[in-house]
Structure 1
Amino acid sequence: MSEVADVRTTPLRRVLAVLALFVAGGAGGGVLWERLWQAPTGLAFEGRWYLEPAGPDVSFQAIALFVVISFPLGLVLALLSGMWRGHETATLVSVVVGAGVAAFVMYAVGHALGPGDPQVLAAGQPDYTPLPADLGLTAPDPGRVAWHSSALLALPAGAMTGLVATYLLGSRGLERRPRG
């Protein structure tokens, strides 16, 4: 019977379960990010798109919302992962990897659900046509890659905070139950 119990709690199963939890959480975070975000509008002019009104407060909204959602999401996912005792090293590695993957999945899902690239859409539009901005993690300037941002580190930072809190402040710490 002890062989059956060991099979259920192998490090590989732990890693796969934590990775699946983080990927699902990242996808859910991406949907939430896109649903809560209100796309700022801009205007097409001479085949290019310009944010109107222009300003850092308007272009920073998507980045701030990403951080506001992703840090607590990483915290909660890591708390859930850390409560499952045993195989702490496997849990730590899978939380670090899973948090990075979840941040990218959150970005990819939110970006895919959001409006298209306004620079591309503006190319065929008459002047002064209003177009929404796309959902990205950088300012909507021409030539910027939409996912090159340190905001992607918010989810892993939240995950590490949650895992440290679970291991250091949890009622049982890193104790193991007696076996046998």
Structure 2
Amino acid sequence: MSTVTHESLEHTGVGSQRPLLRRIVLVLAAFAVAGASAGLLWERLWEPPTGLTYQGRWFLEPAGPDVSFEGIALFVLIAFPLGLLLGVLAGLWRHHETATLLAVLVGAGLAGVVMYAVGSSLGPADPQALAAGQPDYTELPGGLGLTAPDPDRVPWHSTALVAFPAGAMTGLVGTYLLGSRGFASRSRG
């Protein structure tokens, strides 16, 4: 019976994959934690709009796209710069650029979903669901979602979910393109 040693694992390539796997796990974990933190921040900074119930439905009061768009705009204003920062940080690690790019893309998508899940679960419940059992003209706060609070809309069907990946890819690609020449001091000779 043979024993597996550290040297034999490195010789077969298993040991050389550990830094790559560690990097992928760290990138995914960093994005997941950032997404959860961003979701908490999103919910804390957002002020729910109020609305009224009428015939079992909830209506935003005052109505208007500016009021219903605040939660979506705040999501993008938090997600894009945070994704940008994490993309730049991931891009500072050299070697295994393709694996890093894929990990950042998957991690950023995961972060956007986690941000939405955390923020919306901490915010008020869906007012359309609550309006069904309420008498007319009952005031209810709006729910935190990424779409207008219309009764037939799914609250997470929104292109705002691409803000995290868009920021992360911008930061990562910018870091790769600028690389050593963008931030290094240039000789003046």
- TM-score, normalised on structure 1? 0.89
Q: Which runs of 4+ in 1 moved over 6 A?
A: none
Moved more, 120-129 or 86-95: 120-129
Q: Partners of 2:71 and 2:155 in 1: how far apart?
A: 11
Aligned partner of 1:171 in structure 2 is: 180
What are the equivalent positions in structure 2 for 1:17-56 lying under 5 Å apart? 17-56=26-65
Amino acid at match of 2:136: D
Alignment match of 1:135 (pick from 113, 120, 144): 144
Q: Partners of 1:172 and 1:7 in 2: how far apart?
A: 29
Amino acid at match of 1:39: P
Aligned partner of 1:176 in structure 2 is: none
Aligned partner of 2:187 in structure 1 is: none
Deviations 1:97-117 (A, max 9, x none): 111111111111101010001
Q: CA deviation at 1:142?
A: 0.5
Amino acid at match of 2:41: L
- TM-score, normalised on structure 2? 0.85
Q: Partners of 1:6 and 1:106 in 2: how far apart?
A: 34
Q: Partners of 1:70 and 1:15 in 2: how far apart?
A: 21
Aligned partner of 1:76 in structure 2 is: 85
Q: Partners of 1:28 and 1:172 in 2: how far apart?
A: 33
* Cα distance change of structure 1 residues 90 and 7 upon mapping to structure 2, 3 Å threshold: closer
Aligned partner of 1:64 in structure 2 is: 73
* Cα distance change of structure 1 residues 20 and 172 upon mapping to structure 2, 3 Å threshold: farther
Q: Partners of 1:90 and 1:83 in 2: how far apart?
A: 14
Rg larger in structure: 2
* Runs of at least 5 residues in structure 2 that lack an aligned partner in the other structure: 1-5, 183-189
Q: CA deviation at 1:6?
A: 4.3
Paired residues, what number?
172
